[in-house]
Structure 1
Amino acid sequence: MSFFILLTSLLGGLALFIFGTNLISDGLQKAAAVEVQKLLGTFTRNRVAGMLVGFVVTIFLQTSAVTSVLLVGFVSAGLMTMEQALGVILGAAIGSTMTVQLIVFRITDYAPWALILGLLPYLLAKRRRWRYLGQSAVGFGLLFYGVMTMSSAVQPLKEFPAWVLQFQYLASHPWLLFVAATLFTAIVQSSAAPVALAISLAGQGVLFLEPALAIVLGANVGTTATGLLSSLAASWEARRVAWAHFFFKIIGALLFLPFLPSFGRLVAWTSPHLARQVANGHTLFNVVNMLIFLPFTPYISKLLERLLPEHPREEKIAKYLDEALLEVPELALSRVRQEILRMAGIIREKMFPRIMQPLPLREEGLLRKLKEVDNVLDCLYQAIARYLARISPGDEREEVEKARLLYIANDLEHIGDVMVQMARQWRKVEETGLGFSAQGQAEIEEMYRLVQENFEKAVEAFASADYRLAVQVIKQHPALLKMEKTLRFSHFQRLQQENRLSLETTAVHMDLINHLLRLNSHNVSIAQAVLGII
């Protein structure tokens, strides 16, 4: 066999393996990610339970990367502490080794059946979940074909003395193999691929156990590269999760590398077969790593919070909109809901309490500060709109949900705009040095109170899908319309009585009433979207 044909077979097998792995991961994510999300949110109350859940979840999803993405959302939403998330990360690392364990079973002869049985539902099933499961089965078939192709390709390597010498050189330099495996894994974005290659080489006697284990350690570190790169422009929670994953892997690898001969002897006891030993070494490394770090997760969590503190400018960064979920519409839409609730929380905490403070208590630079808050809302709305446009097309229900979420985000963005316009009116009052009449101030505050209550009800109706609350908001609108006319008439009466304060601030007074009515119109629009009226 010529070297070109050998290299072609080896790379072709590797390509089939990586493609099969992606098909499995993608299919299982789409078929079961929603259930997995519920599992993560329910059974991670302590670090040990979190570790076990991370292990089980990653076996189902066949990737620790998506598990990490889900963790970011839970930590950001306050549904899970960073300490709990660290336990899940350690468990997910063990779960991700199960793909390699499957490889060393002699089931490659059954690869065609995986393709056949998977292709039928993938092409013919009408229900999406069955199509996704069929896709995963096809992925398993391709993965095993890839392993079989790589094993066949490396068999004649012994016929090339130059390559045998190269492997012997590398075997005497495990650090070099470790670095090469780290870089290779970072490029192909799959830790299973270099480990499968090492198993193929070891199975043919080309690579011995210790250098194969150096490749395994490098693959474990290299798999963290994807998370680190994607977290650069993400929220501080995402960065902490990514760096925790890297910290566990790199410290563990650096602890193991100096004792590679001892680690090799330990792994050799687990099986008489070299290929199985490599797979067991992959699993054993992650199990020992978990046992080392799990007791210290509270301290590691605090350390990460110190090293990666939240920056005020990060308010403009969408916390929940992870691109890794774009291919899973149900999960992606749930993340959009979280980001919309974050927008509502910003309005509730940073705009509503400040806009109606009495003149003597009003903070300096209110207009400038509210403009900064509105800027954050604008950025989040733009991020939500772009994210919704990029979510993979789903069924009719999901497409309607996209439109509904966009409408609600748009209404929240407009509420921020109205608040800024109200602040401009208050600045006009400050410039006159006057305030409203006592009756006029009381009337506006009463209307404001009702509008704020409706906002709270509309947001709660959206958060909990409470149709009853949404109906209340809509039914309240006619009363506010009537109130607006009553306040105008009351103000007109004060003008006729030549009330000096009313005369000086009449334009501002009327504009504020208009703005409050506009705010409530957006509340009603949100409530209508909750009910599906779009």
Structure 2
Amino acid sequence: MNYCSTIVIFFGGLGMFLYGMNRMAEGMQKLTGAFVKNFLEALSDKKAMAILAGVLITAIIQSSTGTTIMVVGFVNAGILSLIQSVGVIMGANIGTTVTGWLVSLFTLRNLQYGYLIASFLVGIAAFMMMFLKTEKKKVAADVIFGAGILFLGLFTMTNAIGQVKEQGDYVQKFLYLGNRPFLAIIAGIFVTLILQSSSVSIGILQCFALNGLVNWKTAVFIILGQNIGTCMPALISSAGTQVNAKRSAMIHLFFNVFGTIVFGFGMAIVFARNAGFANGTISSAGIAAFHSGFNIVVAFLLAPFTKLVASFSDIVLKSHGLEEAEDDVELASRHLDKRILESPSFAVAEAVQEVVHMGEVAYESVKLAFDAIISRDARKVKIVFEKEDTIDKMTDVISDYLVKISALPLTEEQHTSITNLFYTVSNFERMGDHAENLAELCNYMIENNIQFSEPAYKELEGIMEIVTNSFIYSIRARRDLSKESADRARQYEDLVDSIEDELRNKHMKRLANELCKPTSGVVFLDILSNLERISDHADNVAGYVLNEI
């Protein structure tokens, strides 16, 4: 077999390995996303819990790089504190070793045996996808299929390497790297940076080890480099974030550089004193064991100094005075951090929170418009116009994020939730429009000196209170996914409909009896129409919630 054919087969195997890992990770996130989300939200500053969270998340998404990028997003969005992120990052370094152990255990007896099991997993998963109807079983099939494809890719790469190992002195080339630790570390950094995953680069190293091409000395220094390389994407991703998010990414780099220095010098001494061990062939399990041992020991050494590490990052990355106050649009943009899209469950949860926040801004605008009409306050009218601009911008930011989420691997429930959030955003935006309409009517009243009779004002105050309640309960329903709040919102909306008809009739009688001017009568009826439409939109929001329950 010539080199070109071998390279093609190797890259085909690498493609299967990457695709299988991605498919398995997506399935695991669907199966466990809600559990991990609740677990992470319940974190206190206890280091052990934060480390465990990092291990779990990384074991699920199969990438410490992905976890760290997500952590940068969590810190930037205010979901995690800097102290909490330190523990999660420690756990991420440990969790990334899971893939290596899976590879080593799967190839423990012999490659042929593992190849048969991988083929069997793919076949079983295919039949499950074809004949099972429930979503959870299909997701489980996705996980099994991904695992099977991952290991088929591993065996393909291993066989490709085996085909050419006799055609050149590859052992000598690896020995060359082992005799130059700095070069081996750079090689590990470079490969991991290209592949964006230490799990994948470790898997490739294990393929070489399965063919007997790697000794302990070379493998150790390459692994140390891989642990540094996995930090780089998160550092790049932290550009443009809040200072604490940058610190979080820098802490990850500090951990792995610290570990590399300690283990690098330590293992160099061990190898110098035991040449037989240094030059002995390392197994796939040996690579997994060292990778795990390295990350566990570094976490054990640094765990007592979590606050000190955070303080060190504060010294290196100083904030330049007080952060400028952020408006609602800037907060929404920061909270809807694109890095959180690495975890669909968290992305959906953050989207819900920002949609609720948008509803609260729209509610403030509506309430100000109500007060402006009753008090004829031009200052409040101006604030309503400003809030309308904010609501429009929030609509764009949130809608764009929802589009991105809809492209993620979501469960059916999450797809339903995202669809309903799209509709909810639209309804909150329309409620803001009606607040603007009311503000414009108030301006018209002030400019033309239009006054209502005392009974008319009392009637408006009464129906405004009911509309306000329908709005409040629709927001609560969306926030808490509450059937009780949704039902209350709909009850208030029904009450608004009946009262609106009654008030229209009363006002028509006042017009007929010439108790008010025709001009004021038109404005009064326009106000009623806008109030009724606001309660209609509140009813729509409640309906979307009931659709999810």
- TM-score greater than 0.5 by the shorter chain: yes
| Alignment partner, residue 294 of structure 2 | 285
1:180-225 deviation digits (Å, cap 9, x = unpaired): 4334323323211222333444565654545433432333343345
| Alignment partner, residue 527 of structure 1 | 542
Distance in 1, matches of 2:497 and 2:145, equals: 61
Aligned residues between the structures: 526
Q: What secondary structure does 2:226 align onto? A: helix
Confirm whether residue 427 of structure 1 aligns to residue 443 of structure 2.
Answer: yes
| Alignment partner, residue 342 of structure 1 | 357
8 Å Cα contact 2:493-2:538 kept in structure 1: no
Letter of the aligned partner of 2:487 in structure 1?
Answer: V
1:112 paired residue among 100, 113, 116: 116
Distance in 1, matches of 2:230 and 2:548, equals: 45
2:282 paired residue among 264, 274, 278: 274
With 290-299 and 102-111 compared, the bigger mean Cα shift is at 290-299
| Alignment partner, residue 249 of structure 1 | 252
Q: Cα offset for 1:374?
A: 2.0
Distance in 2, matches of 1:478 and 1:377, equals: 29
1:408 paired residue among 404, 424, 438: 424
| Alignment partner, residue 217 of structure 1 | 224
Distance in 1, matches of 2:366 and 2:232, equals: 39
2:386 paired residue among 369, 375, 378: 369
Distance in 1, matches of 2:339 and 2:255, equals: 29
8 Å Cα contact 1:22-1:139 kept in structure 2: yes
With 520-529 and 210-219 compared, the bigger mean Cα shift is at 210-219
| Alpha-carbon spacing, 1:119–1:152, altered in 2? closer, same or farther (3 Å) | closer
| Alignment partner, residue 200 of structure 2 | 193
Distance in 2, matches of 1:259 and 1:341, equals: 48
Q: What secondary structure does 2:547 align onto? A: coil
With 281-290 and 87-96 compared, the bigger mean Cα shift is at 281-290
Confirm whether residue 465 of structure 1 aligns to residue 481 of structure 2.
Answer: yes
Distance in 2, matches of 1:247 and 1:95, equals: 19
Confirm whether residue 184 of structure 1 aligns to residue 191 of structure 2.
Answer: yes
Confirm whether residue 390 of structure 1 aligns to residue 407 of structure 2.
Answer: yes
1:432-476 deviation digits (Å, cap 9, x = unpaired): 577766654444333222211111112222333333332332233
| Alignment partner, residue 103 of structure 1 | 103
What TM-score do the two structures reach when normalised by structure 1? 0.79
Q: Cα offset for 1:91?
A: 1.2
Structure 2, unaligned runs of 5 or more:
none
| Alignment partner, residue 21 of structure 2 | 21
8 Å Cα contact 1:461-1:527 kept in structure 2: yes
Percent identity between matched residues is 23
Instruction: Give the CA RMSD over aligned residues.
Output: 4.4
8 Å Cα contact 1:209-1:264 kept in structure 2: no
8 Å Cα contact 1:177-1:214 kept in structure 2: yes
Letter of the aligned partner of 2:484 in structure 1?
Answer: R
Distance in 2, matches of 1:386 and 1:178, equals: 41
Q: Cα offset for 1:79?
A: 6.5
| Alpha-carbon spacing, 1:316–1:394, altered in 2? closer, same or farther (3 Å) | closer
Q: What secondary structure does 1:383 align onto? A: helix
Distance in 2, matches of 1:64 and 1:495, equals: 72
Q: What secondary structure does 2:422 align onto? A: helix
Q: Cα offset for 1:350?
A: 5.8
Confirm whether residue 518 of structure 1 aligns to residue 533 of structure 2.
Answer: yes
| Alpha-carbon spacing, 1:14–1:385, altered in 2? closer, same or farther (3 Å) | closer
Confirm whether residue 454 of structure 1 aligns to residue 501 of structure 2.
Answer: no
Q: Cα offset for 1:98?
A: 1.5
With 174-183 and 116-125 compared, the bigger mean Cα shift is at 174-183
Letter of the aligned partner of 1:91 in structure 2?
Answer: G
With 125-134 and 415-424 compared, the bigger mean Cα shift is at 125-134
Distance in 2, matches of 1:333 and 1:518, equals: 28
| Alpha-carbon spacing, 1:101–1:264, altered in 2? closer, same or farther (3 Å) | farther
8 Å Cα contact 1:147-1:196 kept in structure 2: yes
Distance in 1, matches of 2:199 and 2:539, equals: 52
1:43-97 deviation digits (Å, cap 9, x = unpaired): 6563321212332343344344665687689778877545334422321221111
- Give the 5 Å matches for 1:491-510: 507-510=522-525
Q: Cα offset for 1:100?
A: 1.1
Q: Cα offset for 1:519?
A: 0.6
Q: What secondary structure does 1:274 align onto? A: coil
1:254-302 deviation digits (Å, cap 9, x = unpaired): 3344455424258879998634443333223322443455445557399
| Alignment partner, residue 367 of structure 2 | 352
Q: Cα offset for 1:408?
A: 2.4
Q: Cα offset for 1:379?
A: 0.8
Distance in 2, matches of 1:533 and 1:147, equals: 42
8 Å Cα contact 2:100-2:203 kept in structure 1: yes
| Alpha-carbon spacing, 1:381–1:415, altered in 2? closer, same or farther (3 Å) | farther
Q: Cα offset for 1:526?
A: 1.8
| Alpha-carbon spacing, 1:405–1:422, altered in 2? closer, same or farther (3 Å) | same
Distance in 1, matches of 2:72 and 2:355, equals: 16
- Give the 5 Å matches for 1:132-211: 132-154=139-161, 156-157=164-165, 159-161=167-169, 167=174, 170-171=177-178, 173-201=180-208, 206-211=213-218
Q: Cα offset for 1:136?
A: 2.8
| Alpha-carbon spacing, 1:364–1:291, altered in 2? closer, same or farther (3 Å) | farther
8 Å Cα contact 1:45-1:84 kept in structure 2: yes
| Alpha-carbon spacing, 1:410–1:311, altered in 2? closer, same or farther (3 Å) | same
Distance in 2, matches of 1:214 and 1:165, equals: 16
8 Å Cα contact 1:256-1:263 kept in structure 2: no
Higher relative contact order (CA 8 A, sep 6+): 2
Letter of the aligned partner of 1:26 in structure 2?
Answer: E
Letter of the aligned partner of 1:524 in structure 2?
Answer: D
Distance in 2, matches of 1:118 and 1:414, equals: 50
Letter of the aligned partner of 1:212 in structure 2?
Answer: A
Structure 1, unaligned runs of 5 or more:
none
Distance in 2, matches of 1:211 and 1:320, equals: 43
Q: Cα offset for 1:415?
A: 1.1
| Alpha-carbon spacing, 1:411–1:73, altered in 2? closer, same or farther (3 Å) | farther
8 Å Cα contact 2:369-2:438 kept in structure 1: no
8 Å Cα contact 1:100-1:195 kept in structure 2: yes
